[in-house]
Structure 1
Amino acid sequence: MRILLVCVSICIISLLQSCNSSELIENWKNPDIDVFQAEKVLVLAMTSDVKNRKLFEKRLVDLLKDKGVNAVGSDAFFNPEFTSRPRTEEELGDLERAMLSEGFDAILVSKVLGAEDKVTLVQSYRNWDKSVNGFEDDYYAHQGIYVEDEEMQKYTVYHAESALYCICPTKEREIIWKGSIDVTEPDNDRKAIKDYISMLVWALEEQELLIIGPVDY
C-alpha cells in the first residue's frame, strides 16, 4: 500500500509539472508541525516589479480564499511607502506586533531571486536554516529586491522561493515551511505567475498547511 501511495504521488507531481512551467526543486516542512491552519495570513510578494507583485498577490489571495483561507494581500496592510527604503530589524519587529494586533498569525512570503545557476542556488537553499530563523530575518536579508534593477528579466529561468511563517502570540515565532520553485517560462509573466502559484498552493495543500482538507486536483 505504501509503494502504491508513493507511485500515485509521483504520478500526480509528474502530471502537474507536465502541464505548467514550474518545478518544485526543494521542499522543507518543520518536523514539529503536522497540520497548520491560520486564522489570518498575510500574502507578501517581494519584487521590484510592482505590476507583477500586485498580480501575484491578488491571484494567490483569491485562490487561497477559494479554498477557505482568510488571506490578505500586503497592499491592504503595508503603508504604500513601506518598501521605499530598507527597514531596520526594530521596524520589522514593530510591523509584526502591528500584524498581531490586526489578527494575523501567519505570513506567506514569496520572492524571485532570478539566476541561471540552479546548482549554486539549490546549495544556497539548503543552507537557509543556518541564517534565517523567522520572517524578520528573511525580510531584512532580502528587502533590497524592492529596489533592484530589471536585470532578472534577462534570465531564462526564474528561481523563486516561498516560505510560511507563524507569528502566533502564544508560542515562539517560527518557520513552518519553505519551498524552492523554478519557473521555466519567464517570457510570459502571467503564465509564469499562474504556474508558480499552482505549484505553491499544491505544495501547501498536499502538506496540510493553511489549506486543510482533501486534495482536489
Structure 2
Amino acid sequence: MKTKLMLLSLVLMTSCASTKLVETWKNPEHVVFDAGKVLIVGMSQDDEVRLEFESQMKEKLEKLGVEAMRSVDLFDVEFTSSEKSEEELSDVEQQLLDKGFDAILFTKVVGTENRRTFRERMNKFNNLYSRFSADYLGHQDMYYDPEYYDTFNLYYIETALYCICVDKDRELIWKGDFEVEEPSKASKTIDAYIKLMTTAMADVDVIF
C-alpha cells in the first residue's frame, strides 16, 4: 500500500481549517481487534500540543470504557530528549505487556506541503512499519532535533495502532493517514482529528 504521510506534532488549526481522511490500512489477519488497555503516544516537539492530544485521546477512550495511559505519564523528559535504541524500546514494550496493556496508539506528523525546512526523508513516506519500535526509531528525532521541520501549511498526520498482546507478535493492526490544513489552534483541531480517526477505525472493526 502506498502511504501518503502524517501524526502529531499536532501544532493544530483554526475552526475554519479542515481535517480529512486520506487512506487507511488494516491488517487482514485481524478481522476484529478490540483493545482494552491502550498507551497513547503523540510524538511532538511541542510539549503543550503533545499533552493536549494525549489528554483528549485518553478522555475519549475512557468514555468508550477503555483504560488508557498517556505517554507523558510514562516517558520522562530524559527519555524523549535523546535517541533511543531498539533494545530500550523493546524493554518499554515488555513493561507495557507486564502491566496488561494490549495496544499502542501512535500518532505523528510525517510530512507537509509548502515546507520551508523538513528533514524527514522522502523514502520514509511509503514505509509501512510492522512494529511500534521500528516506527518510533524512524521518527524519534522529531523530539529533539530543532531543524526537523519548520513552517508548515498542510500537515500529513498518521495514526497507527500496534498490538502488544500476549502470545502474539507486536504488530501493526491499523493505520490511517489524514490531512490537516493550516494548523494554528490545538484544542479544536485535535478534537476534530480524534473524532475522524476513531470513526475510521470503527468502520473497519478496529474498536475500543
Structure showing greater relative contact order (alpha-carbon pairs closer than 8 Å, 6 or more residues apart): 2
Kindly report the root-mean-square deviation, in angstroms, between the aligned alpha carbons of the 2 structures: 2.3
CA distance in 2, matches of 1:192, 1:151: 22
How big is the shift at 1:196?
Answer: 1.3
Ranges of 4+ aligned residues in structure 1 off by more than 6 Å? none
SS of 1:192's equivalent in the other structure is helix
Per-residue CA deviation, residues 172-208 of structure 1 (Å, 9 max, x unaligned), is: 2210001111101312222222221111111122222
Number of positions where the alignment pairs a residue of Structure 1 with one of Structure 2: 188
TM-aligned CA distance change 1:70 to 1:142, over 3 Å: same
How big is the shift at 1:123?
Answer: 8.7
Residue correspondence of structure 1 range 14-163 to structure 2 within 5 A: 21-116=18-113, 125=125, 127-129=126-128, 132-149=129-146, 152=149, 154-163=151-160
Aligned letter for 1:50?
D
Gaps of 5+ in 1: 1-18, 212-217
Gaps of 5+ in 2: 1-15, 116-120
Q: Quick one: which of 157, 167, 176 aligns to 1:170? A: 167
**TM-score for both structures, normalised by structure 2:** 0.82
Per-residue CA deviation, residues 86-136 of structure 1 (Å, 9 max, x unaligned), is: 100111111111111111111000001241079xx99964x323xx22001
Single out whichever of 133-142 and 78-87 deviates more from structure 2: 78-87
Aligned letter for 2:190?
I
CA distance in 2, matches of 1:106, 1:187: 30
Question: Greater helix share, 1 or 2?
Answer: 1
Aligned letter for 1:128?
N
CA distance in 2, matches of 1:184, 1:124: 21
Aligned letter for 1:21?
S
Identity %: 41
**TM-score for both structures, normalised by structure 1:** 0.79
TM-aligned CA distance change 1:123 to 1:205, over 3 Å: farther
Q: Which has the larger radius of gyration?
A: 1
CA distance in 2, matches of 1:123, 1:24: 22
Question: Greater strand share, 1 or 2?
Answer: 2
